[in-house]
Structure 1
Amino acid sequence: MPFDALKPKVTTILAHDKESIGQRLTEICELLQTTMGYYDWVGFYFANHKEKTLHLKAFAGEPTDHTVIPFGKGICGQVAETNSNFVVADVKAQNNYIACSMYVKAEIVVPLFKDGKNVGQIDIDSHTEDPFSEEDERFLEWVNQQVAEIL
Protein backbone atom coordinates (compact mmCIF):
# COMPACT_ATOMS: atom_id res chain seq x y z
CA MET A 1 0.00 0.00 0.00
CA PRO A 2 1.45 3.38 -0.94
CA PHE A 3 2.22 5.76 1.90
CA ASP A 4 -0.41 8.26 0.72
CA ALA A 5 -3.08 5.58 1.23
CA LEU A 6 -1.82 4.91 4.77
CA LYS A 7 -1.96 8.53 5.92
CA PRO A 8 -5.77 8.72 6.34
CA LYS A 9 -5.70 5.42 8.25
CA VAL A 10 -3.04 6.77 10.63
CA THR A 11 -5.01 9.99 11.09
CA THR A 12 -8.19 8.04 11.87
CA ILE A 13 -6.46 5.83 14.45
CA LEU A 14 -4.89 8.82 16.22
CA ALA A 15 -8.24 10.64 16.30
CA HIS A 16 -9.81 7.90 18.51
CA ASP A 17 -9.38 9.92 21.68
CA LYS A 18 -11.53 7.51 23.73
CA GLU A 19 -8.63 5.03 23.42
CA SER A 20 -5.41 5.44 25.41
CA ILE A 21 -2.34 6.80 23.69
CA GLY A 22 -0.70 3.40 24.15
CA GLN A 23 -3.58 1.64 22.41
CA ARG A 24 -3.51 4.07 19.50
CA LEU A 25 0.25 3.66 19.13
CA THR A 26 -0.15 -0.12 19.13
CA GLU A 27 -2.77 0.20 16.38
CA ILE A 28 -0.37 2.33 14.32
CA CYS A 29 2.35 -0.31 14.79
CA GLU A 30 -0.06 -3.08 13.76
CA LEU A 31 -1.23 -1.12 10.70
CA LEU A 32 2.31 -0.52 9.47
CA GLN A 33 3.55 -4.02 10.31
CA THR A 34 0.67 -5.77 8.54
CA THR A 35 0.45 -3.39 5.56
CA MET A 36 4.08 -2.83 4.62
CA GLY A 37 5.56 -6.16 3.55
CA TYR A 38 9.08 -5.29 4.65
CA TYR A 39 8.11 -3.76 8.04
CA ASP A 40 8.55 -6.94 10.10
CA TRP A 41 8.67 -5.27 13.52
CA VAL A 42 7.40 -1.78 14.36
CA GLY A 43 7.70 -0.13 17.75
CA PHE A 44 7.58 3.18 19.57
CA TYR A 45 10.18 3.89 22.25
CA PHE A 46 9.92 6.89 24.55
CA ALA A 47 12.77 8.64 26.34
CA ASN A 48 13.36 9.01 30.04
CA HIS A 49 15.90 11.84 29.85
CA LYS A 50 16.65 11.75 33.57
CA GLU A 51 17.73 8.08 33.39
CA LYS A 52 19.00 8.38 29.79
CA THR A 53 16.96 5.36 28.71
CA LEU A 54 14.39 4.50 26.07
CA HIS A 55 11.28 2.53 27.03
CA LEU A 56 9.18 0.45 24.65
CA LYS A 57 5.58 1.72 24.79
CA ALA A 58 3.93 -0.04 21.83
CA PHE A 59 4.93 -2.54 19.15
CA ALA A 60 3.75 -5.05 16.57
CA GLY A 61 5.73 -8.14 15.61
CA GLU A 62 7.67 -10.67 17.62
CA PRO A 63 8.09 -9.81 21.31
CA THR A 64 11.50 -8.35 22.19
CA ASP A 65 13.66 -8.49 25.29
CA HIS A 66 14.81 -4.95 24.51
CA THR A 67 12.13 -3.01 26.35
CA VAL A 68 14.63 -0.59 27.91
CA ILE A 69 17.60 0.69 25.90
CA PRO A 70 20.30 3.01 27.27
CA PHE A 71 21.03 6.17 25.29
CA GLY A 72 23.96 5.49 22.96
CA LYS A 73 23.38 1.72 22.79
CA GLY A 74 22.29 0.25 19.48
CA ILE A 75 20.65 2.16 16.66
CA CYS A 76 17.79 3.40 18.88
CA GLY A 77 20.18 4.60 21.56
CA GLN A 78 22.26 6.45 18.98
CA VAL A 79 19.16 8.23 17.62
CA ALA A 80 18.30 9.31 21.18
CA GLU A 81 21.65 11.13 21.25
CA THR A 82 21.96 12.41 17.67
CA ASN A 83 18.33 13.49 17.10
CA SER A 84 18.73 12.25 13.52
CA ASN A 85 17.19 9.52 11.41
CA PHE A 86 19.30 6.39 11.19
CA VAL A 87 18.82 4.03 8.26
CA VAL A 88 20.79 0.79 8.39
CA ALA A 89 20.84 -1.14 5.12
CA ASP A 90 22.75 -4.08 6.66
CA VAL A 91 22.70 -4.52 10.44
CA LYS A 92 25.71 -6.88 10.28
CA ALA A 93 27.82 -3.91 9.15
CA GLN A 94 27.01 -1.96 12.35
CA ASN A 95 29.28 -2.56 15.33
CA ASN A 96 26.85 -0.87 17.77
CA TYR A 97 23.80 -2.90 16.74
CA ILE A 98 21.59 -4.70 19.28
CA ALA A 99 20.35 -7.91 17.69
CA CYS A 100 16.63 -8.36 18.37
CA SER A 101 16.17 -11.31 16.05
CA MET A 102 18.48 -13.38 13.89
CA TYR A 103 16.17 -12.59 10.95
CA VAL A 104 16.62 -8.80 11.06
CA LYS A 105 18.69 -7.54 8.16
CA ALA A 106 17.89 -3.81 8.13
CA GLU A 107 16.55 -1.16 10.49
CA ILE A 108 15.25 2.39 10.34
CA VAL A 109 14.80 4.63 13.38
CA VAL A 110 13.22 8.08 13.17
CA PRO A 111 13.16 10.41 16.18
CA LEU A 112 9.86 11.79 17.50
CA PHE A 113 9.92 15.43 18.55
CA LYS A 114 7.45 17.24 20.81
CA ASP A 115 7.93 20.99 21.20
CA GLY A 116 11.41 20.67 19.67
CA LYS A 117 12.55 17.97 22.11
CA ASN A 118 13.38 14.38 21.11
CA VAL A 119 10.87 12.47 23.25
CA GLY A 120 11.00 9.12 21.49
CA GLN A 121 11.22 7.31 18.21
CA ILE A 122 9.66 4.88 15.82
CA ASP A 123 11.83 1.82 15.19
CA ILE A 124 11.30 -0.58 12.29
CA ASP A 125 13.16 -3.84 11.68
CA SER A 126 13.08 -5.62 8.35
CA HIS A 127 13.95 -9.17 7.34
CA THR A 128 14.76 -7.77 3.88
CA GLU A 129 18.18 -6.35 3.05
CA ASP A 130 18.30 -2.61 2.28
CA PRO A 131 14.52 -2.07 1.89
CA PHE A 132 14.20 1.48 3.24
CA SER A 133 14.08 4.53 0.98
CA GLU A 134 13.88 8.26 1.46
CA GLU A 135 10.13 7.83 0.99
CA ASP A 136 10.05 5.61 4.12
CA GLU A 137 11.92 8.31 6.05
CA ARG A 138 9.54 11.09 4.99
CA PHE A 139 6.48 8.95 5.78
CA LEU A 140 7.78 7.97 9.22
CA GLU A 141 8.65 11.59 9.99
CA TRP A 142 5.05 12.44 9.09
CA VAL A 143 3.74 9.64 11.36
CA ASN A 144 5.82 10.99 14.23
CA GLN A 145 4.52 14.53 13.65
CA GLN A 146 0.96 13.19 13.90
CA VAL A 147 1.78 11.18 17.04
CA ALA A 148 3.36 14.26 18.67
CA GLU A 149 0.03 16.04 18.41
CA ILE A 150 -1.66 13.54 20.76
CA LEU A 151 1.14 13.45 23.35
Structure 2
Amino acid sequence: MFKVESYKGNKEDSYRMVLKQLVALVEDETNTIANLSNASALLNQFLDQINWVGFYLVDGNELVLGPFQGLPACVRIPFGKGVCGTSAAERKTLRVEDVHEFPGHIACDAASQSEIVVPVMKDGNLLGVLDIDSPIKGRFDVIDQRMLEQFTEELAKHL
Protein backbone atom coordinates (compact mmCIF):
# COMPACT_ATOMS: atom_id res chain seq x y z
CA MET A 1 0.00 0.00 0.00
CA PHE A 2 1.34 3.40 -0.96
CA LYS A 3 1.65 5.93 1.84
CA VAL A 4 2.32 9.62 1.28
CA GLU A 5 5.30 10.77 3.30
CA SER A 6 6.00 14.40 4.03
CA TYR A 7 8.79 16.22 2.24
CA LYS A 8 11.39 17.69 4.56
CA GLY A 9 15.06 18.41 4.48
CA ASN A 10 17.00 19.87 1.61
CA LYS A 11 16.04 19.62 -2.04
CA GLU A 12 18.01 16.42 -2.67
CA ASP A 13 16.56 14.76 0.44
CA SER A 14 13.07 15.65 -0.76
CA TYR A 15 13.77 14.18 -4.19
CA ARG A 16 15.11 11.01 -2.56
CA MET A 17 11.79 10.70 -0.71
CA VAL A 18 9.97 11.11 -4.03
CA LEU A 19 12.11 8.35 -5.53
CA LYS A 20 11.14 6.06 -2.64
CA GLN A 21 7.49 6.91 -3.19
CA LEU A 22 7.81 6.28 -6.92
CA VAL A 23 9.17 2.81 -6.29
CA ALA A 24 6.32 2.09 -3.87
CA LEU A 25 3.82 3.17 -6.53
CA VAL A 26 5.21 1.26 -9.50
CA GLU A 27 7.15 -1.76 -8.22
CA ASP A 28 4.22 -4.19 -8.35
CA GLU A 29 2.42 -2.72 -11.36
CA THR A 30 3.14 -3.73 -14.95
CA ASN A 31 0.78 -1.37 -16.77
CA THR A 32 2.71 1.47 -18.42
CA ILE A 33 -0.19 3.95 -18.46
CA ALA A 34 -0.93 3.36 -14.77
CA ASN A 35 2.73 3.85 -13.84
CA LEU A 36 3.12 7.00 -15.94
CA SER A 37 -0.12 8.38 -14.52
CA ASN A 38 1.00 7.87 -10.94
CA ALA A 39 4.47 9.22 -11.72
CA SER A 40 3.05 12.46 -13.15
CA ALA A 41 0.64 12.81 -10.21
CA LEU A 42 3.50 12.25 -7.74
CA LEU A 43 5.66 14.94 -9.36
CA ASN A 44 2.69 17.31 -9.53
CA GLN A 45 2.18 16.84 -5.79
CA PHE A 46 5.88 17.27 -4.98
CA LEU A 47 7.09 20.08 -7.23
CA ASP A 48 6.18 23.67 -6.51
CA GLN A 49 5.94 26.48 -9.04
CA ILE A 50 5.00 24.24 -11.95
CA ASN A 51 1.98 24.40 -14.21
CA TRP A 52 2.34 21.17 -16.22
CA VAL A 53 4.00 17.79 -15.72
CA GLY A 54 3.63 14.72 -17.85
CA PHE A 55 4.91 12.39 -20.49
CA TYR A 56 5.12 12.28 -24.24
CA LEU A 57 5.61 8.79 -25.67
CA VAL A 58 7.40 7.71 -28.83
CA ASP A 59 5.08 6.94 -31.74
CA GLY A 60 7.12 6.44 -34.90
CA ASN A 61 9.09 9.63 -35.59
CA GLU A 62 7.10 11.77 -33.20
CA LEU A 63 5.96 12.05 -29.62
CA VAL A 64 2.33 11.60 -28.63
CA LEU A 65 0.77 12.95 -25.46
CA GLY A 66 0.72 10.51 -22.55
CA PRO A 67 -0.42 10.78 -18.92
CA PHE A 68 -0.08 14.28 -17.46
CA GLN A 69 -1.26 16.79 -14.87
CA GLY A 70 -2.21 20.26 -16.08
CA LEU A 71 -4.09 22.03 -18.83
CA PRO A 72 -4.84 20.26 -22.14
CA ALA A 73 -1.66 19.99 -24.19
CA CYS A 74 -0.33 19.54 -27.69
CA VAL A 75 -1.07 15.99 -28.81
CA ARG A 76 1.74 15.28 -31.30
CA ILE A 77 5.26 16.70 -31.47
CA PRO A 78 7.67 15.74 -34.27
CA PHE A 79 11.22 14.76 -33.27
CA GLY A 80 13.41 17.84 -33.45
CA LYS A 81 10.58 20.34 -32.89
CA GLY A 82 10.24 22.36 -29.68
CA VAL A 83 11.92 21.46 -26.41
CA CYS A 84 10.32 18.01 -26.18
CA GLY A 85 11.04 17.03 -29.78
CA THR A 86 14.61 18.30 -29.54
CA SER A 87 15.22 16.40 -26.31
CA ALA A 88 13.85 13.24 -27.93
CA ALA A 89 15.92 13.67 -31.10
CA GLU A 90 19.13 14.36 -29.16
CA ARG A 91 18.27 11.91 -26.36
CA LYS A 92 19.46 14.35 -23.73
CA THR A 93 17.94 16.44 -20.97
CA LEU A 94 17.13 20.02 -21.90
CA ARG A 95 16.77 22.62 -19.17
CA VAL A 96 15.42 25.87 -20.62
CA GLU A 97 15.48 28.95 -18.39
CA ASP A 98 13.32 31.04 -20.74
CA VAL A 99 11.20 29.12 -23.24
CA HIS A 100 10.64 32.27 -25.31
CA GLU A 101 14.33 32.21 -26.21
CA PHE A 102 14.25 28.57 -27.36
CA PRO A 103 14.06 28.38 -31.18
CA GLY A 104 10.83 26.72 -32.27
CA HIS A 105 9.34 26.50 -28.77
CA ILE A 106 5.82 25.06 -28.86
CA ALA A 107 3.59 27.09 -26.55
CA CYS A 108 0.83 24.80 -25.29
CA ASP A 109 0.28 27.00 -22.21
CA ALA A 110 0.99 30.72 -22.53
CA ALA A 111 1.80 30.85 -18.79
CA SER A 112 4.88 28.63 -19.20
CA GLN A 113 8.18 30.48 -18.81
CA SER A 114 10.72 27.69 -18.20
CA GLU A 115 10.85 23.99 -18.94
CA ILE A 116 12.82 20.83 -18.32
CA VAL A 117 12.54 17.76 -20.54
CA VAL A 118 14.16 14.45 -19.59
CA PRO A 119 14.33 11.49 -22.00
CA VAL A 120 12.91 8.23 -20.68
CA MET A 121 15.30 5.51 -21.86
CA LYS A 122 15.21 1.74 -21.39
CA ASP A 123 17.85 -0.65 -22.70
CA GLY A 124 19.17 2.10 -24.98
CA ASN A 125 15.76 2.77 -26.49
CA LEU A 126 13.85 6.03 -26.19
CA LEU A 127 10.39 5.39 -24.72
CA GLY A 128 9.39 9.04 -24.40
CA VAL A 129 10.14 12.18 -22.44
CA LEU A 130 9.19 13.64 -19.09
CA ASP A 131 8.14 17.27 -19.63
CA ILE A 132 7.73 19.80 -16.82
CA ASP A 133 6.74 23.44 -17.35
CA SER A 134 6.84 26.34 -14.91
CA PRO A 135 5.36 29.85 -14.94
CA ILE A 136 8.66 31.01 -13.34
CA LYS A 137 11.73 31.79 -15.47
CA GLY A 138 14.79 29.80 -14.40
CA ARG A 139 12.70 27.47 -12.20
CA PHE A 140 14.80 24.35 -12.81
CA ASP A 141 18.41 23.96 -11.66
CA VAL A 142 21.12 21.30 -11.85
CA ILE A 143 19.73 19.51 -8.80
CA ASP A 144 16.31 19.25 -10.46
CA GLN A 145 17.98 17.94 -13.59
CA ARG A 146 20.08 15.31 -11.83
CA MET A 147 17.24 14.09 -9.62
CA LEU A 148 14.67 14.03 -12.42
CA GLU A 149 17.10 12.00 -14.50
CA GLN A 150 17.29 9.53 -11.60
CA PHE A 151 13.49 9.61 -11.41
CA THR A 152 13.12 8.66 -15.09
CA GLU A 153 15.80 5.96 -14.79
CA GLU A 154 13.91 4.36 -11.91
CA LEU A 155 10.57 4.72 -13.65
CA ALA A 156 11.89 3.15 -16.86
CA LYS A 157 12.73 -0.04 -14.95
CA HIS A 158 8.97 -0.49 -14.46
CA LEU A 159 7.79 0.30 -17.98
State the TM-score, normalizing by the size of structure 2: 0.87
Does 1:55 find its partner at 2:64? yes
Measure, in 1, the Cα distance between the counterparts of 2:71 and 2:83: 18
One-letter amino acid of the structure 2 residue matched with residue 114 of structure 1:
K
Aligned-pair CA distance for 1:121: 0.9
Identity of matched residues, %: 33
One-letter amino acid of the structure 2 residue matched with residue 12 of structure 1:
A
Pick from 87, 99, 102 the counterpart of residue 94 of structure 1. Answer: 102
Measure, in 1, the Cα distance between the counterparts of 2:42 and 2:156: 18
Measure, in 2, the Cα distance between the counterparts of 1:30 and 1:4: 16
Aligned-pair CA distance for 1:101: 0.8
Aligned counterpart, 2:3? none
Aligned-pair CA distance for 1:6: 1.1
One-letter amino acid of the structure 2 residue matched with residue 92 of structure 1:
H
- Counterpart mapping for 1:1-150 below 5 A: 1=7, 2-17=14-29, 20-48=31-59, 51-64=60-73, 66-150=74-158
State the TM-score, normalizing by the size of structure 1: 0.91
Aligned-pair CA distance for 1:107: 0.4
Structure 2 regions of 5+ residues with no counterpart?
1-6, 8-13
List 4+ stretches of structure 1 deviating above 4 A.
none
Structure 1 regions of 5+ residues with no counterpart?
none
Aligned-pair CA distance for 1:150: 1.5
SS class of match (1:72): coil
Number of residue pairs aligned between Structure 1 and Structure 2: 147
